Chain A
Amino acid sequence: AQTVTQSQPEMSVQEAETVTLSCTYDTSESDYYLFWYKQPPSRQMILVIRQEAYKQQNATENRFSVNFQKAAKSFSLKISDSQLGDAAMYFCAYHSGGGADGLTFGKGTHLIIQP
């Protein structure tokens, strides 16, 4: 079974600064997807960024980018120019490629933005 590990229960960053959230995973598969989801206090899950394992290029979405290290099974999220609205729980998630499977989530990182 796949596992996803987020070793940072909480992170704090000053507004406008950059922060990196860590995620590692364990799998024996070669085809899979990785995601970062944001869950604000409303608890609505919001997709931040997606990475296909077969793509070597790191995904980026505006201020959000990932550092995908397939051999190390690492998938960190970098948030640049942090904004107050970025404060939320961030979950790293794994999806097995080629199948209609659910997501396996990490335990989450609570991100605090200091004004």
Chain B
Amino acid sequence: GAVVSQHPSWVICKSGTSVKIECRSLDFQATTMFWYRQFPKQSLMLMATSNEGSKATYEQGVEKDKFLINHASLTLSTLTVTSAHPEDSSFYICSARDTASTQETQYFGPGTRLLVL
């Protein structure tokens, strides 16, 4: 089946620093990728839609200047958490939509645990 990877799987950083998370579709092309955030014991919340070659679209309440998204190729989207603070500590999950598939399915990466000290 389709595989999506995320890197890193774990990151600990100091408050005020920036962290970049990569999301890659390994065996398919993804014009569209999505970034979700999941706080402990909660559900996944869509943060933004990443579109290859164009600007990302952000959900209401998500600061686009804080969560920078770049989708430079058909297999890679990156999420940069700028000037991270402890409240940004969360589990970040990406998903990718197979451009060639006729079935509407999103494939999820394994997630990235971010801890901001």
Q: Which of A33, A95, A101 has the most CB of B within 10 A?
A: A101
Residue from A43, A50, A97, A104 in contact with B91 in the complex, judged by beta carbons closer than 8 Å: A43
Please tell me if the beta carbons of A108 and B43 are within 8 angstroms of each other in the complex.
yes
Please tell me if the beta carbons of A95 and B110 are within 8 angstroms of each other in the complex.
no
Residue B106 is within 8 A (CB to CB) of chain A in the complex: yes
Residue from A42, A50, A101, A105 in contact with B43 in the complex, judged by beta carbons closer than 8 Å: A105
Q: Which of A46, A91, A104, A105 has the most CB of B within 10 A?
A: A105
Chain A: interface residue total (CB-CB under 8 A): 22
Please tell me if the beta carbons of B104 and A33 are within 8 angstroms of each other in the complex.
yes
| Given known A-B contacts A44-B108, A103-B106, A91 and B43 have beta carbons under 8 A apart | yes
Residues of chain A within 8 A (CB-CB) of B45 are 105
**0/1 interface trace, chain B 101-117, chain A, CB 8 Å (1 if under):** 00111111011000000
Q: Which of B34, B36, B43 has the most CB of A within 10 A?
A: B43
Chain A residue nearest to B45 (CB atoms) is: A105
| Given known A-B contacts A100-B49, A107-B43, A44 and B111 have beta carbons under 8 A apart | yes
Please tell me if the beta carbons of B44 and A105 are within 8 angstroms of each other in the complex.
yes
Residue from A50, A104, A105 in contact with B105 in the complex, judged by beta carbons closer than 8 Å: A50
A33 to B105, CA, bound (A): 9
Residue A85 is within 8 A (CB to CB) of chain B in the complex: no
Residue A45 is within 8 A (CB to CB) of chain B in the complex: yes
Chain A residue nearest to B34 (CB atoms) is: A102
A37 to B107, CA, bound (A): 11
Q: Which residues of B contact A (CB under 8 A)?
A: 31-32, 34, 36, 38, 42-46, 49, 51, 59, 91, 93, 95, 97, 103-108, 110-111
Question: Given known contacts A100-B32, A100-B51, A102-B46, what 6 new A-B pairs fall within 8 Å (CB)?
Answer: A37-B108, A45-B108, A101-B49, A102-B36, A105-B45, A107-B42
Q: Which residues of A contact B (CB under 8 A)?
A: 33, 37, 42-47, 50, 52, 91, 95, 97, 100-108
Q: Please, could you name 13 A-B residue pairs with CB atoms under 8 Å apart, sorted by A?
A: A43-B38, A44-B111, A45-B44, A45-B95, A47-B105, A50-B103, A50-B104, A95-B106, A100-B31, A100-B51, A103-B34, A107-B42, A108-B43
